[in-house]
Amino acid sequence: MQLTTEQINRLYEFTRQHYVEWYDLQTELVDHLANAIEKQWLENPKIPFEDVLQLEFKKFGVFGFMDVVEKRQASLSKKYNMIIWKHFKDFFKLPQIIGTFLATYILSKILSILFFDAIFPIIFLTGILISIFFFSFTKRKINQQKKEDKKRWLFEEIIYSYGHFSGLLFIPLQIVNGANIFNETIIEKPILLLLVSFIIVSYYLIMYVIIKIIPSKAEVYLKETYPEYELVD
């Protein structure tokens, strides 16, 4: 005994009612529930659809679908981090590596001329402002999707949402700067100055990957992750 289209739609509705907002996860759970319900009906076809649905849902435990959501988020976040690392490494291959080291050298010269404790807050605040701008852009995009009732994909939201936190990359450096660890010695030690400049340049490169490169290739990564992505409105 197979589920009807109406019953399948009810399963999608059921997952949404239990706080699963993303179409890919909804589909995975609907497939699981549908197979489980059909298996139950093989043993006892007289069980009402809603009763067997509740029975299968109880098997997920007290937290319902939350464990499934968290595991998928962790898996896709790991995938996303690997993509960041892949694009970041590209800046250390020819010809990009020339620009990376040139930017490091120029920044070290700027820091050697200006007071480090004066210029660093500007670097820090610039990173924060870029992050805030990206957050505003992403929020509008997601809200627009909701208004248009478009399908939401978990990996798509990870791609567009993780840029919100990119400005936080600079917090460790700001803490170090606030502790005055570098301020008195950095100008006197060119190697240390180059190292700090390299770290700052690397932070901005990671921000560039998160905010610019990966979103520009989002459709490619989404089609790789979800073969059905371009077939669904």
Please spell the DSSP secondary structure of 163-176, one letter per residue.
GGGGGGGGHHHHHH
Long-range contacts of 107-111 (CB under 8 A, 24+ apart): 107/197, 107/200, 107/201, 108/190, 108/193, 108/194, 108/196, 108/197, 111/186, 111/187, 111/193, 111/196, 111/197
Residues 112 and 142 in one domain: yes
Residues 124 and 54 in one domain: no
Closest CA to 19 of 163, 193, 154, 170: 154
What pLDDT shows up at residue 179? Answer: 45
Higher pLDDT, 81 or 227: 81
Q: What is the pTM of this model?
A: 0.79
Mean pLDDT score, 202-228: 88
Residues 117 and 219 in one domain: yes
217-to-91, 101, 113, 226 alpha-carbon distances in Å: 17, 26, 39, 14
Of the ranges 110-119, 149-158, 186-195, the best mean pLDDT one: 149-158
Reported confidence tier of residue 229, pLDDT bands at 50, 70, 90: confident
Residues 133 and 29 in one domain: no
Digit-coded pLDDT (tens) for 167-212: 556 556 655 555 455 555 555 677 888 888 898 899 889 988 988 8
134 pLDDT more than 80: no
Tokens representing 133?
């701008």
Say if residues 220 and 159 touch (Cβ distance below 8 Å). no
Residues 46 and 81 in one domain: no
Residues 84 and 177 in one domain: yes
- Reported as type and span, the H/E element at residue 205 is helix 190-208
Higher pLDDT, 33 or 227: 33
Digit-coded pLDDT (tens) for 38-97: 999 998 888 999 999 999 999 998 888 999 999 999 999 999 999 999 999 999 999 999
Helix (H/G/I), strand (E/B), else coil: 217: coil
Residues 118 and 200 in one domain: yes
The pLDDT mean for the chain works out to 83
Mean pLDDT score, 106-132: 74
Question: CA 34, CA 8: separation in Å to the nearest integer?
Answer: 7
Residues 82 and 172 in one domain: yes
Residue 121's domain comprises: 73-231
Residues 55 and 167 in one domain: no
Residues 49 and 103 in one domain: no
> Residues of the chain with pLDDT > 70: what percent?
79
Residues 51 and 113 in one domain: no
Residues 146 and 108 in one domain: yes
